[in-house]
Structure 1
Amino acid sequence: MALQLAALLQPSGLTEKLAPEPLETSIDLVPPYPLAVLPPLLREAAEGIADFVQGPPALAGHTVLGAAACLAQSRVDSWSHVSRQMPCSLFSLALGSTGSAKSSTHRLAFLPIEQAEKQRLTLAGDQAVGANGLVTGDASFSRVTSMLVEGCASLFWTTAEGGQLLKGHSLQADNAVAVLGAITRLWDDGGLERIRSKSNADASGIVFNRRLSLSLMVQEITIRDVLRDPVMRGQGFLARFLFCAPDNLLGTRTLSLERLSRKAEDDLRIAHYWERLEELMLTPEAVDPQRLGEVAAPALIPTSDAKKLWLEFYNANELKLGRFGDHEPVAEFAIRAPQQALRLATVLAFFEGKSQVDEEAMYAAVCLAEHSTQEWHRYTVATFDPALEAARDISDWLVAKVRAGEEKWLEFTGRQWLQCGYGRYRTARKRDQAFRLLLERKHLLETPDGYRLNPLLLENSAEGGGEGI
């Protein structure tokens, strides 16, 4: 195959030297992550972690928030204007491209929590079920829900490889709707119903007041795929995630002798943050052993000023949801923003040891919730361009055909395409719209009789392990 590709790539004219452009929508500039509104310890920790791992500060901010939520959810609840009380659990999703230091960021943000969890499991054995648990790396929704039914009151599931979770077996099977429904209910009120067949009754039952938070880091292709998944969106599963997509720092992360000698524990910003996590872990969890391990946490009530600020945000957000409003394209995400703000405010107030949610915590939470809505807007609008989606599909299809030995697709006519091209895009209307983009982005080159696939796509595909541009 390598020899065949080499032959195909022999230049036959200047057009072959044109570099194909990515088939992506131009995404708006990244809105600045509101790191400055975080409590000083969290803000400085995020800055210190980002500096040490040379990763995006937004990713570090997102991750330390997750660590704070991990400890908060089994100790306090959020106030709710509807049900008066709800979990403060957070679902967070962060874009972490190759080289974004997502694993290193997570390791430093959760280090004291992971160390405590390892010690707990060592003392109690591998089958230990405790009031609070940390699930890292590879797992499944089925196993996590089983742990909650078996008696674990609170779980925090975090992974730097979130694509494996969102595209895993549980969400590809026929019961994906049921699985997502169960997870969203856990976020809503902590309830879980898991009924298995008599032959498979393991971990069956109905439980209440459990807590589950998710902290996922994924690559851009995963975000694109899940946003196009009607089940993911229709269930309101994605809408419950706080989202951030920071800039890629590749090309800026130079090293020095001084940097090579650094240790994370020597950075006081990180050390003080770790000390605060350890202090919070020593506070008792609000778990009632008489009620099958249910979380019975007090709600942190907002002060009068905090409620006024939240009401302003709620009403302004509601007006943007209407027809022609700023949030109309992402209404399913934006409608959750006021609820997210209440949860975030609770987590921030808990981290600082406050007995109420004050105006300062609410202001920070509102900024974070609004930032997430802006990020969802950027990626949702960019993802759903039918013409670009068709062009990507056709380009990938042509490259795959030529690499499989069907060299007729290296150069072909419009008539050939209509007769035996990619079935989804054979009609003249769909073909013309996509081909116009493919010509503009130099994936196709015009010939006197029709079209020629840009051979540089084959070269890029061969070098990239089969992924085109």
Structure 2
Amino acid sequence: MSDVIAIKPEQDLQPLPLIPEAIKSEPYPLDALGAVLGNAAKIIAEGIQVPPAMAGNSVLAAAALAVQHIANVNIDGRSYPISLFCLTIAESGDRKSATDKCALAPAKQAQAKLQSDYKASVKCYQDDIQVFEKEKKLILNNKKLGPDETRARLHELKEPIAPKQPNLLADEPTIEGLQKSFAKGLPSQGLFNDEGGQFFGGHAMSAEQQLKSAAGLSRLWDGSDQARTRAGEGESMFICNPRLSVHLMIQPIVAKRVLSDPILSGQGLLARFLIVAPESIAGTRLYNGMDISQKPAAQRYRQALSKAHDIEPSLDENGNLQPRELPLSAKAKMSWIKSYNAIETAIGNHQELGNIKAEASKAAEQTLRIAAVLTLIENPDATSITNETISSAIVLIGYYLNEQLRLQKQIEVNPELANANELYQWLINKGWQNFNLRKVCRNAPRFARKAKDARALLELLEEYNWIIRLPKGVDIGGKPTKEAWRLTNAI
């Protein structure tokens, strides 16, 4: 019997699709961000040369951080924080860091000022502590005082309060780290990381910590009180009414794992994120020499966010954040109710938003949050949300829901076919004319390093006519090989 495997005529080999053709994202509605944020996002997109969706998500997240301490949004007696969680998916080299740096410039400036003020406050605090201890010692050493009078004098002494740590921005904390940061620092903070894979691949999202971290972050999005009980001295804490805005930027390979993670999806954390995944524009970014800092739109953006950051938070007698309430105008409320009802109708079984029920169920609240952010950026003293602004927020949430639908369809792709497609793209990039199983296993992506996994994927590619099996014993690298293939129509 011949060892040669029969090969179909190559002209008859028509590759079959492994995965559905990618659905392109819709244009990000930058105008709906308003004059300050929308024009800034346009300048960032043009100057840094990034997709508008990346610029839009970045400025929206930075704006939420700037104003979340000012107000809650209120409708029919229900009060919601206006913090936002944003997630941007983009390839390495798509200028995530440059975009994030530009959008966060006002926050970085605010943090630098806080750190400078903190140093001066610490010096005053240390001086006050010395005075306090000296007065305390005088009272305790005063032998003319009886026990009751000693206690009364000590009670009258006001022990100095340590200044809050100036931790406005964090980039990769654990949930425990965040809780400590809120306990000792500012009541309004941001978790921003342009390499979000470090967060999702770090200790906070390890197998042992993932559920706790997801639950903790979800509670922070809700603005819920945080209680932490520990046996160690000083380890127990209670954090009242914290505010946290988040923007994480991750690569598609990380997003693929994150968005399909059953714990992150089932627990509800992902449903709280506003997600964009724009197509890369690499290859079109010819040098333009634009100095963004000199553009009026960028200057107005920095001024508006800096003004918001400078507004002192309203605190209760215990030092807990107590934002004012920001209601909707009568017309804005009517528009929001109409949007609310339309979304609710669309999340029923077999309806348009049925496959993203968790995300769509948060959409009405997200609309309120976005509208409040847009309102306060334009006017920090605003007393209500206008119909124009709520309409803009409805446009934005419509975009985010469509993006979720698009990404959900990509997640639903058969994982074996998705891996086969990724392996094929990798083979194309390697430029190999022919290859054997051993060569693939030695160099392939991690999911195809084991022989049985690589063989299964190569057989799928063969079945779908993307590669052709070569005769047994063919020479690869100077040695005969049992299993070898080449790309269909490869020369």
Normalised TM-score (structure 1) = 0.79
**For the Cα contact (< 8 Å) 2:82–2:369, is it kept in 1?**
yes
In structure 1, which of residues 190, 193, 204 is the aligned counterpart of residue 236 of structure 2? 204
User: 1:287 deviation in Å?
Assistant: 2.8
Equivalent position to 2:168, from 100, 117, 134: 134
When residues 54 and 193 of structure 1 are mapped into structure 2, their CA distance, relative to the original with a 3 A threshold, is same
Cα pair 1:22 1:441 within 8 Å, conserved: no
Closer/same/farther in 2, CA of residues 403 and 27 from structure 1, 3 Å limit: closer
Q: Compare 44-53 and 165-174 and name the one that shifted more.
A: 165-174
Counterpart among 465, 468, 481 of residue 445 in structure 1: 468
Q: Cα distance 1:60–1:446, how it changes in 2: closer, same or farther (>3 A)?
A: same
Measure how far apart 1:172 and its partner are: 1.1
Residue pair 1:227, 1:233 contacting (<8 A) in 2 also: yes
Q: What residue in structure 1 maps to residue 104 of structure 2?
A: 110
The 1-side partners of 2:52 and 2:423 are apart by 37
Cα displacement string for residues 418-443 of structure 1 (whole angstroms, at most 9, x for unaligned residues): xx834xx99xxxx69x944554362x
- Of 78, 84, 106, 2:78 maps to 84
Q: Distance in 2 between matches of 1:136 and 1:346?
A: 24
- Taking a change above 3 Å as real, the CA distance of residues 400 and 371 of structure 1, as seen in their structure-2 partners, is farther
Residue in 2 aligned with 1:348? 374
Partner of 1:179: 213
How far apart are the structure 2 equivalents of 1:367 and 1:311? 14
- With over 3 angstroms needed to count, the CA separation of the structure-2 counterparts of 1:453 and 1:236, relative to structure 1, is farther
State which of 245, 257, 267 in structure 2 corresponds to 1:225.
257
Look up the match of 2:417. Answer: 388
CA distance in 2, matches of 1:21, 1:390: 15
Conserved? CA contact 1:76–1:286, under 8 Å: no
| 1:414 corresponds to | none
Q: Secondary structure of 2:191's partner?
A: strand
What is the CA distance between 1:263 and its match in structure 2? 2.3
Deviation at 1:122, TM superposition (A): 3.3
Q: Report the Cα offset of residue 141 of structure 1.
A: 3.1
Q: Post-superposition shift, 1:404? A: 5.3
Question: 1:105 and 1:378 mapped to 2: Cα distance?
Answer: 24
1:271 corresponds to 2:305: no
Structure 1 contact 25–383 (Cα < 8 Å) conserved: no
Aligned residue for 1:94? 88
Question: Could you tell me which amino acid in structure 2 is paired with residue 68 of structure 1?
Answer: A
Separation in 1, partners of 2:180, 2:388: 38
Using the alignment, how far apart are the partners of 1:309 and 1:160 within structure 2?
Answer: 35
Report the AA paired with residue 107 of structure 1: K
Structure 1: how far apart are the matches of 2:436 and 2:175?
A: 36
Q: 2:61 aligns with which of 51, 60, 66?
A: 66
The answer on whether the counterparts of 2:175 and 2:216 sit within 8 Å (CA) in structure 1 is: no
Paired residue secondary structure (1:339): helix
Match of 1:236 among 260, 268, 275: 268
Residues 129 and 370 (structure 1 numbering): CA distance in 2 closer, same or farther, change over 3 Å? farther
2: CA distance, partners of 1:315 / 1:185: 26
Match of 1:57 among 38, 52, 55: 52
Determine if contact 1:131/1:287 at 8 Å carries over to the other structure: no
Change (3 A) 1:325 1:157: same
Taking a change above 3 Å as real, the CA distance of residues 323 and 22 of structure 1, as seen in their structure-2 partners, is closer
1:412 aligns with none
Q: 1:216-272 CA distances to partner (integer Å, 9 max, x unpaired)?
A: 1111111110122111111100100001112211111111xxx33x42221111112
Structure 2 counterpart of 1:284, one-letter code: E
- State the shift of 1:453 in Å: 5.3
Which position in structure 1 is the counterpart of 2:223?
A: 189
Secondary structure in 2 aligned to 1:222?
helix
CA RMSD of aligned residues (A): 3.6
Q: 1:378 aligns with which of 399, 403, 406?
A: 406
Structure 2 length normalisation: TM-score? 0.76
The aligned amino acid for 2:412 is F
Identify if the C-alpha distance between structure 1 residues 392 and 51 changes in structure 2 by more than 3 Å, giving closer, same or farther.
Answer: closer
Match of 1:44 in 2: 39
Look up the equivalent residue of 1:366 and give its one-letter code.
I
- What is the CA-CA distance between 1:134 and the residue it aligns to? 2.5
Equivalent of residue 309 in structure 2, options 281, 292, 298: 281
**2:327 aligned to 276, 287, 301, which one?**
301
8 Å CA contact 2:171–2:192 kept in 1: the answer is yes
SS at match of 2:192: strand
**Aligned pair in 2 of structure 1 residues 58, 389: CA closer, same or farther (>3 Å)?**
closer
The CA deviation at 1:133 is 3.7
**Residue deviations 1:157-190 (CA, integer Å, cap 9, x gap):** 1111111112211211313212211110111133
Tell me which structure has the larger Cα radius of gyration: 2
Deviates more, 1:306-315 or 1:107-116: 107-116
User: Can you list the C-alpha shifts for 1:97-152, whole angstroms capped at 9, x where unaligned?
Assistant: 22322111111111122022023213424999648743244433331222113343
Query: What is the aligned partner in structure 1 of residue 286 from structure 2?
Result: 254
Offset of residue 389 of structure 1: 4.1
> For residues 104 and 24 of structure 1, do their structure 2 counterparts lie closer, same or farther at Cα, with a shift above 3 Å needed?
farther
Q: Counterparts of 2:378 and 2:189 in 1: how far apart (Å)?
A: 22
Taking the aligned partners of 2:88 and 2:368, their CA distance within structure 1 comes to 20
Secondary structure at the aligned position of 1:326 is classed as: coil
SS at match of 1:99: coil
Which one-letter code corresponds to 2:332 in the other structure? A
Distance of 2:236 and 2:487 partners within structure 1: 55
Q: Could you tell me how far apart the structure 1 residues matched to 2:461 and 2:354 are?
A: 27
**Larger mean Cα displacement after TM superposition, 177-186 or 114-123:** 114-123
Distance across 2 between alignment mates of 1:267 and 1:437:
51
CA drift of 1:376 comes to 1.3
Query: How high is the sequence identity, in percent, across the aligned residues?
Result: 28
Deviation at 1:403, TM superposition (A): 4.9
CA offset digits 1:350-404 (Å, max 9, x no partner): 11112211111111111111211111111121122225246469879x9985455
Cα distance change of structure 1 residues 188 and 138 upon mapping to structure 2, 3 Å threshold: closer
Q: Whole-Å Cα distance in 2 between the matches of residues 104 and 278 of structure 1? A: 19
